[in-house]
Amino acid sequence: MEITPAIITDFRGYFNGQFSDAQVWSDDIITDLLCQADSETGGSGWGKFGLDCQNFKRRGMYYFAAAWLTFLYGKNPANGIDHNARLNVQNKSVGDESVAYRVPAMMEVNNDALTYTSYGQAFYRLRKRAGMGARVV
């Protein structure tokens, strides 16, 4: 799928304009993440992309891109990608130096990273729906 200027403009306005500042969020960064999002939503359960408000693939792509934009860059992509793994610490004890992470044994680490942001949680929910099978369009 080609990420067109119309798609970038639509994405910029999707989350109340959170990614609308082209000085902060360049077209190149947004295009790259939307391209990755297209791959992540490539299965038949997602359907075909369209710019209408009820399009399932569009929602999935936008939530995926927003999740990774905020997860990787925070509020300022000019600072570069944060290379630290952000596994959320659930509890820790100084005395015996034990640390327990929020990642349950049955959740893969990549899913935990995805659910680090509210956008990622929304994408994770949509991805589960996309895998359920056929639905009426």
Domain boundaries, the chain: 5-86+109-132
In whole angstroms, what is the distance from residue 86 CA to residue 115 CA? 11
In whole angstroms, what is the distance from residue 46 CA to residue 60 CA? 8
Cα distance between the two ends of the chain: 21
Please enumerate in sequence order all residues whose Cβ is within 8 A of that of 102, keeping only pairs 6 or more positions apart, or say none.
Answer: 87, 88, 89, 90, 112
Per-block mean pLDDT, blocks of 10 residues, the chain (137 long): 96 94 94 95 91 94 94 80 58 59 55 75 88 63
- Residue 90 confidence (pLDDT): 52
Which H or E run includes 31? helix 27-40
- Residue 2 confidence (pLDDT): 95
Q: Which residues pair with 104 in a beta bridge?
A: none
In whole angstroms, what is the distance from residue 101 CA to residue 89 CA? 4
Please tell me the pTM assigned to this model: 0.78
In whole angstroms, what is the distance from residue 26 CA to residue 69 CA? 11
